[in-house]
């Protein structure tokens, strides 16, 4: 499965050379996932999932475009070699750095709130825009990542589309596309519902629409027994929707997909060293040197990440809890929704063993923090037989570098 194509010997060597915790990415998996999505005209990588520059350069070389959500992400896209017309900027508000960026760069914007219309028209009169529509429903692997419905701050409410089209027209902007992203790690059933909602919106904006964007949210099988998402079925369904719409609108439409997780999650693992084991009451703990500063998904969403111990695949297992070094009770990698600690069947671990936390290519390093004043971990990219450091570990000096010392 997935990032396990990285063999134990290499993982031992990498841990020895670069230390732990360490993110390790494997390009083969990304290439494979991109190939699965070639049925879409544009694959637009949601770069919030992982913004490592070498990884981005590599993704760029596959002909993939990007969706950025902040001025910082656009900056990184430029650094990785993407040019203006390969970048879309999706946001629900323009902060000052965002607007300033758009003054200097002609980047396509995907508007998620009404007030952005006049703000954008003031700096780019007459430009094309797409609208991110909230279709009135959403779905994701957790309610914190559901981006549709009235409880979501994202997008322009679907019922307001006619008045918003008038408003964009009055501001002199042209609406060339409709975009919907209902949530992250959704499922086939909900992602399919988007087709009807997007078609309805595109019909309302029929005069000028030339692009439809299906958003991202494609799930990946985090658990070993989960069935992978049927991308072929998904693509065929969307092609059907596009064909129908083209017939209605009387023009050809560009069809985009905007995944983050689907492209990169399975390409990454987090290597961490066992630094202790202990028993409290009847619970056995494996204490590792990675924490939720390196991977916050279990603590934030109760997300499941598969865990293995390097070189111990064939050994008998028993229930154990894997926890990190942070001074915070939520620093547990084996927990369910609501923070309930869930022991996991794992081989008996010893101090010095290496653990792999799988499927961390998306939303791990990009959500890393310096909590407990811990440096952000290093990242390694494996391409064929070559494993190269693509981000050095932060140093204690890095941690203090931006501060202004008032004390003599
Ligand atoms: N497009 C837009 C406009 C988005 O807001 C997102 C994700 C994506 C695409 C990509 O979604 P994906 O294909 O990766 O599911 N931190 C959470 C995920 C939050 C994603 C927010 N927006 C997690 O770790 O599950």
Other Cβ atoms within 10 Å of 42 Cβ, number: 17
The pLDDT score that the predictor gives to residue 24 is 98
Ligand 1 centroid distance, CA of 79 (Å)? 22
pLDDT of residue 141 exceeding 70, the answer is yes
Other Cβ atoms within 10 Å of 363 Cβ, number: 26
**What are the helix (H) ranges across 222-264?**
231-249, 261-264
Question: Worst-scoring range by mean pLDDT, 59-68, 85-94, 324-333, 399-408?
Answer: 399-408
* 319: helix, strand or coil: strand
Catalytic residue among 327, 340, 386, 401: 327
Ligand 1 atom with the smallest distance to the CA of 296 is 24
Ligand 1 centroid distance, CA of 333 (Å)? 21
pLDDT of residue 140 exceeding 80, the answer is yes
Other Cβ atoms within 10 Å of 90 Cβ, number: 26
Query: How sure is the predictor about 16, in pLDDT bands with cuts at 50, 70 and 90?
Result: very high
Q: pLDDT tens for residues 142-168?
A: 989 999 999 999 999 999 999 999 999
Q: pLDDT tens for residues 308-329?
A: 999 998 999 999 999 999 999 9
Ligand 1 centroid distance, CA of 143 (Å)? 13
Q: Please spell the DSSP secondary structure of 115-172, one letter per residue.
A: THHHHHHHHSTT-EEEEEEE-S----SSGGGB--STT---SEEGGGHHHHHHHHHHTT
**Section 218-242 average pLDDT:** 96
Query: How sure is the predictor about 51, in pLDDT bands with cuts at 50, 70 and 90?
Result: very high
Query: How sure is the predictor about 192, in pLDDT bands with cuts at 50, 70 and 90?
Result: confident
Candidates 174, 220, 225, 177; CA nearest to 201 is 177
In this prediction the pTM is 0.96
The pLDDT score that the predictor gives to residue 185 is 87
Instruction: Report the nearest-CA residue for atom 16 of ligand 1.
Output: 363
Query: How sure is the predictor about 405, in pLDDT bands with cuts at 50, 70 and 90?
Result: confident
Pocket of ligand 1 (CB under 6 A): 46, 49, 67, 90, 145, 147, 181, 184-185, 215-218, 258-262, 297, 362-363
Burial group, residue 301, by CB count within 10 angstroms (0-12, 13-18, 19+): buried
In which residue are the tokens 């560009």 written?
254
Contact 129, 176 (CB under 8 A): yes
Token pair for 298: 């279990």
Query: How far is 312 from 283, CA to CA, in rounded Å?
Result: 21
pLDDT of residue 5 exceeding 80, the answer is no
Instruction: Report the nearest-CA residue for atom 5 of ligand 1.
Output: 181
Query: How far is 270 from 377, CA to CA, in rounded Å?
Result: 10
pLDDT of residue 4 exceeding 70, the answer is no
pLDDT of residue 43 exceeding 90, the answer is yes
Candidates 266, 272, 303, 264; CA nearest to 289 is 272
For the chain, first and last CA: distance in Å?
A: 55
* Phi, psi dihedrals of residue 286, rounded to the nearest 5°: -110, 120
pLDDT of residue 213 exceeding 80, the answer is yes
**Section 351-358 average pLDDT:** 98
Ligand 1 atom with the smallest distance to the CA of 90 is 3
Whole-Å CA distances, 54 to 28, 71, 77: 14, 19, 11
% pLDDT > 90, the chain? 92
Catalytic residue status for 356: no
Ligand 1 pocket test: pick from 48, 133, 190, 364 the residue with the most ligand atoms within 8 Å of its Cβ: 48
Query: How far is 69 from 73, CA to CA, in rounded Å?
Result: 6
The pLDDT score that the predictor gives to residue 1 is 41
């Amino acid at each position: 499965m997935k990032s396990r194509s990285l063999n134990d010997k290499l993982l031992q060597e990498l841990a020895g050379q670069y230390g732990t915790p360490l993110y390790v990415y494997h390009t083969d998996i990304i290439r494979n996932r991109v190939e699965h999505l070639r049925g879409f005209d544009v694959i637009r990588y949601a770069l919030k999932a992982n913004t490592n520059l070498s990884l981005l350069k590599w993704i760029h070389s596959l002909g993939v475009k990007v969706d950025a959500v902040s001025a910082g992400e656009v900056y990184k896209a430029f650094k990785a070699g993407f040019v203006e017309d390969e970048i879309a900027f999706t946001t629900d508000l323009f902060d000052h750095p965002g607007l300033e960026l758009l003054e200097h760069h002609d980047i396509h914007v995907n508007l998620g709130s009404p007030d952005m219309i006049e703000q954008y028209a003031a700096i780019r009169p007459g430009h094309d825009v797409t609208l991110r529509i909230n279709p009135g429903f959403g779905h994701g692997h957790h309610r914190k990542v559901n981006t549709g419905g009235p409880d979501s701050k994202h997008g322009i409410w679907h019922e307001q589309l006619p008045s918003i089209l008038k408003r964009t027209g009055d501001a002199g902007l042209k609406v060339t596309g409709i975009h919907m992203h209902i949530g992250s790690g959704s499922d086939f059933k909900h992602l399919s519902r988007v087709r009807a909602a997007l078609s309805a919106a595109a019909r309302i904006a029929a005069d000028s629409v030339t692009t439809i964007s299906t958003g991202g949210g494609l799930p990946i099988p985090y658990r070993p027994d989960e069935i992978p998402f049927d991308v072929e079925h998904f693509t065929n369904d969307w092609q059907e929707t596009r064909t129908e719409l083209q017939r209605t609108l009387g023009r050809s439409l560009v069809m985009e997909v905007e995944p983050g997780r689907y492209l990169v999650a399975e390409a990454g693992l987090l290597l961490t060293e066992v630094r202790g084991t202990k028993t409290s009451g009847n619970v056995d703990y494996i204490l590792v040197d990675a924490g939720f500063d390196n991977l916050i998904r279990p603590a934030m969403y109760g997300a499941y990440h598969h865990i293995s111990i390097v070189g111990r695949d064939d050994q008998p297992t028993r229930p154990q809890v894997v926890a990190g070094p942070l001074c915070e009770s939520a620093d547990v990698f084996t927990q369910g929704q609501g923070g309930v600690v869930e022991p996991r069947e794992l081989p008996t671990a010893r101090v010095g063993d290496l653990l792999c936390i799988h499927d961390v290519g998306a939303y791990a390093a990009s959500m890393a923090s310096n909590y407990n004043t811990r440096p952000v971990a290093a990242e390694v990219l494996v391409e064929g037989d070559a494993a190269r450091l693509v981000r050095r570990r932060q140093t204690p000096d890095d941690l203090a570098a931006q501060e202004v010392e008032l004390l003599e």
